[in-house]
Structure 1
Amino acid sequence: MSYQPPRPARGLLVTPEDKEAPARIRRLRRLGLGEHPDPALDAFVHHLAGVTGTPYAMVNFIGEERQFFAGLRTLGAAPVVKADGSRPELGRFLPRDHGFCPHVLARRKALVLDDVCDYPRFAGNPVVDEYGIRSYLGAPLIDSTGMVLGTVCVADVEPRPWGKTGLETIKSTAADLAVRLERREHDGLPL
């Protein structure tokens, strides 16, 4: 009899495989996205945070190993306090296995988590403990070729019922941004 290591529990914290990453990275480079902060995307998510009343709003482009927030809005530090008294600040980069956007990318549809702690698959995600994220709302940025370029998302440190209005807001915002990004590529128009 040979030893078989335990298999991860079905449905728990496993970052989905991303076979489209190399093609997406090439597409993002052609669009001039995914490697540098974009002031227009920062303004875009600033507006989105205001509309949704959330402390965090992001436009996220996901590579093979990491996520990059080309548009980022954070309102103050996370409520989590480390042993040394510091509070972690969300920066432009996260490992690919942090957060919920890789799941949106793989699903190719919006993800609504009123309280991430209600979902064993998501409750153990590092952003819950490191940044105090308790609710999430995200939608994929899908271009006219059908490629998922990234995500548009908002998050809060408190549970919140996003409801149908929240879902419609994030989906229409992502669809609008995907069109704007392609217009910028083809016509040089600003976001």
Structure 2
Amino acid sequence: MESKPPIPADEALIQTALADPQRLAALFDTGLLDTPPEEGFDRLTRLAARLTGAPVAFVSLVDADRDFYKSIFDVSGALSSTRELKGRTFCHHALVSKEALILEDVTQLPVFCDVPAAASLGVRAYAGIPLKTEAGEVLGSFCAIDFKPKQWSEQDIEVLVELAHSAMREIRLRKALHQAEALNVQLLAQIKRVDELNRALGELATTDALTGLNNRRSFDHSLQLELAIVERRNTPLSLLMLDVDHFKRINDNFGHEAGDKVLVAIAQMLNGCARVVDVVARVGGEEFAVILPNTDADGAMDVAERMRTAVAQANWLAHPATISIGVATLQMKESASRLYSRADAALYAAKAAGRNRVVMG
């Protein structure tokens, strides 16, 4: 291919292109810098060498201070381990070239003959096709070199141009994959956050906000589950209904904040008297309930008395309080509502009898 020798690029023009922030951002966005060789690119450089007869072909990504070789095919093997090159290179001239940069004998061309690769690597012929994005940013070049003068044919240039287009398709694909991975990481983080929010909502749906105990909804669900267990295993089940005595006086005399503190403290004492399998719940303003699985009437009375005593003897309460407790033990074929009603009736009997006491229903 006979053509006029190309005019070397101005040094200032090359420096401006190397440092161009938009170009560097486009290069970084490919996600290819400092990545290992990939067959998709290696296939193209092998094909370039085979079709043009050049001993070396490579994909060069031009960073601000180095050329990074994403792929390099070298028949001799002398350059196969080279992954980057610093200093002025022929690819820098291709960077600012609007079209293919074709050099048939660099030793005969001013400026090009002074490129370090001409002496250090023995490069005599170079053909480089700019790798240009759709936005016009040049990422580097698809190149072929020879260690002796070479007259590049029109077919050689056409092959390199087509393979450069293929290299850009690979680059766009890798960029899309890189972005997809980043989006996938974000998606997984969002899914994790949604799971955390769902768990938090689940806790809000089953937990009393003030005391941290189970709420009425959770209590009803737990009572139904325990009844199902009783039906399968024929084990005893008891229920305690508890109410804070004269709670309205505490609110009226000391304020609702003081009342809330009393409820929180009593909730902690009830939990402290319960087993892990027991279900302690706040089912009303100052009303609590305790489900006692595998517990008969005598056992339920013992737990109830222990809870009543713990509250009555708590000298650390800012405003002393007592509780009344109604106890009911499940009878044969009894429903949850019937068990609840009997325990609730026993509670009111305890309050009517003078409060601060336990009554079996």
Question: What is the TM-score when the length of structure 1 is the normalising length?
Answer: 0.77
**Residue of structure 1 equivalent to 2:96:** 106
**Residue of structure 1 equivalent to 2:51:** 51
**Residue of structure 1 equivalent to 2:175:** 185
The 1-side partners of 2:104 and 2:96 are apart by 20
Shift of 1:47: 1.9
Given that 2:45 and 2:59 are in contact with CA atoms closer than 8 Å, whether structure 1 keeps it comes out as: yes
Given that 1:37 and 1:69 are in contact with CA atoms closer than 8 Å, whether structure 2 keeps it comes out as: no
Number of equivalenced pairs: 169
Task: Kindly provide the CA deviation profile for residues 33-58 of structure 1, in whole angstroms up to 9, marking residues without a partner as x.
Answer: 12223323223212211121111111
Of structures 1 and 2, the one with the larger relative CO (CA 8 A, separation 6+) is 1
For the pair 1:139 / 2:107, whether they are aligned, the reply is no
The 1-side partners of 2:9 and 2:26 are apart by 31
**Residue of structure 1 equivalent to 2:144:** 154
Shift of 1:92: 1.0
**Residue of structure 1 equivalent to 2:24:** 25
**Residue of structure 2 equivalent to 1:171:** 161
Equivalent AA in structure 1 for residue 107 of structure 2: C
More helix per residue: 1 or 2? Answer: 2
**Residue of structure 1 equivalent to 2:61:** 61
Which entry has the higher C-alpha Rg, 1 or 2?
2
Shift of 1:176: 2.6
For the pair 1:93 / 2:92, whether they are aligned, the reply is no
For the pair 1:36 / 2:26, whether they are aligned, the reply is no
**Residue of structure 1 equivalent to 2:115:** 125
The 2-side partners of 1:77 and 1:55 are apart by 10
Query: Aligned-residue CA RMSD in angstroms?
Result: 2.6
Equivalent AA in structure 1 for residue 127 of structure 2: L
The 1-side partners of 2:23 and 2:10 are apart by 24
Shift of 1:128: 1.1
Given that 2:132 and 2:139 are in contact with CA atoms closer than 8 Å, whether structure 1 keeps it comes out as: yes
Given that 1:18 and 1:106 are in contact with CA atoms closer than 8 Å, whether structure 2 keeps it comes out as: no
Q: 159-168 vs 15-24, which deviates more?
A: 15-24
**Residue of structure 2 equivalent to 1:85:** none
What SS does structure 2 have at the residue aligned with 1:17?
Answer: helix
Shift of 1:21: 3.8
Deviating above 6 A after TM superposition, structure 1's stretches of 4 or more consecutive aligned residues are none
Runs (5+) with no aligned partner, structure 1: 1-9, 79-87
Question: What is the TM-score when the length of structure 2 is the normalising length?
Answer: 0.43
The 1-side partners of 2:31 and 2:94 are apart by 22
Task: Kindly provide the CA deviation profile for residues 61-112 of structure 1, in whole angstroms up to 9, marking residues without a partner as x.
Answer: 111111110111122256xxxxxxxxx8771111141x21111111132100
**Residue of structure 2 equivalent to 1:83:** none
Q: 1:167 to 1:89 in 2, by over 3 A?
A: closer
Q: 1:94 to 1:13 in 2, by over 3 A?
A: farther
The 1-side partners of 2:98 and 2:8 are apart by 18
Task: Kindly provide the CA deviation profile for residues 106-161 of structure 1, in whole angstroms up to 9, marking residues without a partner as x.
Answer: 11321001111121121121111111111000100111121111100000001111
Runs (5+) with no aligned partner, structure 2: 1-6, 179-361
Identity %, equivalent residues: 28
